[in-house]
Amino acid sequence: MSTVLLLSGSPSPDSRTGVLLAHTDSWLVARGHEVQTLHVRDLPTSALLVSNTEHPAIRAAVSMLHRADGVIVASPVYRAAYSGLVKAFLDLLTDNALARKVVLPLATGGTQGHLVAIDYALRPLLTSMGADRLVPGCFVLDRLIQYGEEGGAIAPDARAAVDNALEGFDEALGTQLAVAS
């Protein structure tokens, strides 16, 4: 199957975005995809903020993205925008780094008002990076995701919406593979 990169823009290791990505990882692995996760927070801050693409950790992270057939960009929403970690990492990339990759934006946030972050902030950013196979994203309210020491859970209705977005992503990956063959 395909190689998928999960790009986490969450600044915290224990977060609702992390629960969402854990579910996403399991869902994709169950369908035979190879999944790799990049937590941008784990990259060296100074190298990330000055766009030091020669730093070994930054070079490895960019290489992960280049090798992926699909990329899922997940971010908590703050003040109606994606996290600065997402922006800092994407700023390292060339203009067409996401071209010919299936891309799915996922976001979590505290209010329904944050829903616009996908269509009015994250989607345009991804398009500017060359994402020409961008599938409809999914936003999940924080209150619909519970996390704790044993992992976390997504409320059934929200999980169904996430799974629907993942189905679209999976279908687009299948189409991409068929065309490439």
Query: Cβ distance 46 to 170 under 8 Å?
Result: no
Query: Which pLDDT does position 18 carry in this prediction?
Result: 95
**What homologous superfamily is domain 3-180 in, according to CATH?**
Flavodoxin domain (3.40.50.360)
Query: Cβ distance 162 to 20 under 8 Å?
Result: yes
Domain ranges of the chain: 3-180
pTM reported for the whole predicted model: 0.95
Residues 77-130 pLDDT 10s: 988 789 999 999 999 999 999 999 999 999 999 888 787 889 889 999 999 999
